[in-house]
């Protein structure tokens, strides 16, 4: 048994004594320091970080609870943000509507019927200001789930922070900003693959210089998994995408230790409990080896696998939706046992609708029960040393690495995405999974086994607010009529010129949105230079 009783910084940790009177140590391991398992997995907070990236993990501080939220207008979303914070949410994870994600203004013809439907509508900096009114950006870190339109949305967030007196050098937060997985999964791409990667590089370089505490990219294996990838591919493709971004910015002169510690990951959880735990433990160890041994990082923090991991929508069912509460609880348990830094759970009604307040609160309470009642914060890596878990961890690491090597040998992740190869592969797997569920080969409670033919679904549907969408367009038109058009046009011209010159577009984008240029206008300016992506479909 081993225990420090202190955090990695020497701070005393809270004592934990079970109701039966048994004291709980911070971390447990074999008595023999030469034990081969102990030597292979290491100690928490030490390379290769199999057991977690911090010495005391949740004994010092629980994971951040960051429920995904956003709908309607910025005013609607601000109210939900405040509700979640009042209920104990310790971080915000912003959902934008599809027009915003695709770089369209709310009054664009292509946005009709979608404004504010499945996320918050944002057109200008004024919307961003409304969304975060009364919210302390120091006390509550914000994750922006935005990809294709990441440049204007990140620019707005930074402009907002400046206007409210925050120093960008101290600003914390995250942007998903993983465009390569959008080509594989969700599809909110705008520009061709190469300039899309360049724009991600612009945000990494800008943050390294001006916002060193901000995480400009959260590489999203989550959506790759939801699109049909298996757990090994989820991790392997995410690591390859992260490497593609890393190689790009290194090629532009940034050293690995200048940004790697601010890379983060977003991973999915549904499926077998021990398989999920093992994929994170093995993945964390592999990522540490990649960053230290292949990239030569000197700062131990560069090799941390910092992640948000929570319940996957792919595991939820329309049938017997209250069963999703139970699924969510197990997903949260897996996340905690896996050593995540941030947790978010899909709510039980998300197979139908935007979560109700009740459903969102149940998800939040699920995480809080793990912290306050179930003892998940008492000790580090409680499954460490299990014969099953360690064997699965080793095998998951081997298989993730083999998948990475195979993809590299077949042309690399970027080229395979550009050619549609990865998309076709995961699409075939998604199709096969649905066939397996339909046939009963893959058991799904309430769907193909333990069914109730006539059931009361007990789900409150979230109605689409057409009047709110109309008000959003009216507000946008008012902003256009009252802003300084000359200042906006000059800023957009500079943005185009910087894009044409291959310069970093972030400073010009911040100036443009500060002048109240819209998401659509910034996107069009970049599209004028980079063009549009045309999807390559394979069968």
CA distance 499 to 153: 17
Which tokens go with 528?
């004028």
Structure tokens at 253: 């002169």
Question: CATH code at 331?
Answer: 3.20.20.240
pLDDT tens over the chain, length 539 residues: 455 555 556 678 999 999 999 999 999 998 877 788 888 899 999 999 999 999 999 999 999 999 999 999 999 999 999 999 999 999 999 999 999 999 999 999 999 999 999 999 999 999 999 999 999 999 999 999 999 999 999 999 999 999 999 999 999 999 999 999 999 998 999 999 999 999 999 999 999 999 999 999 999 999 999 999 999 999 999 999 999 999 999 999 999 999 999 999 999 999 999 999 999 999 999 999 999 999 999 999 999 999 999 888 899 999 999 999 999 999 999 999 999 999 999 999 999 999 999 999 999 999 999 999 999 999 999 999 999 999 999 999 999 999 999 999 999 999 999 999 999 999 999 999 999 999 999 999 999 999 987 666 678 888 888 999 999 999 999 999 999 999 999 999 999 999 999 999 999 999 999 999 999 999 999 999 999 998 877 65
Is 133 within the bounds of a domain?
Answer: yes
Cis peptide before 340 (omega within 30 of 0): no
Domain membership of residue 67 (yes or no) is yes
Residue 174 in contact with residue 66, Cβ under 8 Å?
no
- Beta sheet of 307-311, edge-to-edge order: 64-65, 342-343, 307-311, 263-269, 217-220
pLDDT of residue 311: 80
At 1 the pLDDT is 47
The helix/strand/coil state of 262 is: helix
Q: What does the buried/exposed string (b/e) look like for 357-373 if buried means 16 or more CB atoms within 10 Å of the residue's CB?
A: eebbbbbbebbbebbee
pTM of the model: 0.96
> How many Cα atoms are found within 13 Å in the side-chain-facing hemisphere of 510?
18
d(CA 331, CA 496): 45
- Helices 387-409 and 231-251 cross at an angle (nearest 10°) of 50
Asked whether residue 58 is domain-assigned, the answer is no
Strand partners, 146: none
| Residue 73 within a domain | yes
**Position 140 in a domain:** yes
Whether 28 is in a domain gets the answer no
Residues 464/98, Cβ–Cβ less than 8 Å:
no
Q: How far apart are CA 94 and CA 179, in angstroms?
A: 17
Residue 455 in any domain: the answer is no
User: In this structure, how many other beta carbons lie within 10 angstroms of the beta carbon of residue 278?
Assistant: 25
CA dist., res. 386 & res. 319, Å (int): 35
Tokens representing 491 are 């800023």
Domain count, the chain: 1
Token representation of residue 345: 């759970």
Is residue 124 situated within a structural domain? yes
Q: Could you list the residue range(s) of the whole structural domain that residue 307 is in?
A: 63-439
């Amino acid at each position: 048994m081993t225990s420090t009783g202190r955090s990695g910084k020497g701070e005393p940790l809270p004592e934990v004594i079970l109701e039966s009177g048994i004291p709980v140590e911070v971390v447990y391991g074999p008595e023999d320091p030469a034990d081969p398992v102990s030597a292979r997995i290491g100690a928490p907070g030490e390379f290769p970080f199999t057991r977690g990236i911090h010495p005391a993990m949740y004994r010092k501080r629980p994971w951040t609870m960051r429920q995904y939220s956003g709908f309607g207008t910025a005013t609607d979303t601000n109210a939900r943000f405040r509700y979640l914070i009042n209920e104990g949410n310790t971080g915000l994870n912003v959902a934008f509507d599809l027009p915003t994600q695709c770089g369209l203004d709310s009054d664009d013809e292509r946005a009709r019927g979608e404004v504010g439907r499945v996320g918050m509508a944002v057109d200008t900096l004024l919307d961003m200001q409304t969304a975060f009114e009364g919210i302390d950006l120091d006390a509550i870190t914000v994750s922006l789930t935005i990809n294709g339109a990441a440049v204007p949305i990140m620019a707005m967030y930074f402009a907002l922070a400046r206007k409210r007196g925050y120093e960008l050098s101290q600003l914390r937060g995250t942007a998903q900003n993983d465009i390569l997985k959008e080509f594989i999964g969700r599809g909110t791409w705008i520009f061709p693959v190469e300039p899309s990667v360049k724009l991600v590089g612009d945000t990494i370089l800008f943050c390294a210089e001006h916002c060193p505490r901000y995480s400009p990219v959260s590489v999203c294996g989550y959506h790759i998994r939801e699109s049909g990838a298996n757990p090994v591919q989820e991790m392997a493709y995410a690591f390859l995408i992260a490497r593609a971004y890393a190689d790009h910015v290194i090629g532009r002169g940034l050293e690995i230790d200048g940004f790697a510690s601010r890379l983060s990951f977003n991973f999915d959880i549904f499926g077998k409990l021990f398989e999920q735990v093992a994929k994170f433990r093995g993945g964390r160890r592999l990522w540490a080896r990649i960053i230290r041994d292949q990239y030569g990082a000197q700062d131990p923090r560069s090799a941390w696998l910092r992640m948000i991991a929570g319940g996957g929508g792919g595991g939820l069912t329309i049938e017997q939706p209250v069963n999703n509460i139970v699924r969510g609880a197990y997903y949260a348990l897996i996340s905690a046992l896996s050593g995540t830094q941030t947790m978010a759970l899909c709510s039980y009604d998300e197979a139908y609708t935007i979560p109700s307040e009740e459903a969102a609160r149940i998800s939040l309470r699920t995480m809080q029960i793990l912290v306050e009642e179930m003892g998940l914060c008492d000790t580090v890596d409680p499954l460490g040393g299990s014969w099953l878990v360690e064997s699965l961890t080793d095998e998951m690491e081997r298989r993730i690495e083999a998948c990475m090597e195979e993809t590299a040998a077949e042309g690399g992740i970027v080229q395979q995405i550009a050619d549609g190869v990865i998309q076709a592969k995961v699409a075939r797997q998604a199709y096969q999974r649905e066939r397996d569920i339909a046939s009963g080969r893959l058991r799904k409670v309430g769907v193909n086994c333990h069914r109730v033919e006539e059931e009361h679904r007990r789900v409150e549907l979230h109605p689409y607010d057409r009047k709110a969408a109309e008000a959003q367009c009216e507000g946008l038109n008012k902003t256009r009529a009252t802003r300084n058009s000359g200042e906006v046009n000059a800023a957009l011209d500079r943005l185009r010129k910087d894009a044409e010159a291959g310069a970093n577009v972030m400073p010009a984008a911040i100036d443009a949105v500060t002048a109240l240029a819209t998401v659509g206008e910034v996107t069009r300016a970049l599209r004028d230079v980079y063009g549009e992506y045309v999807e390559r479909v394979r069968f």
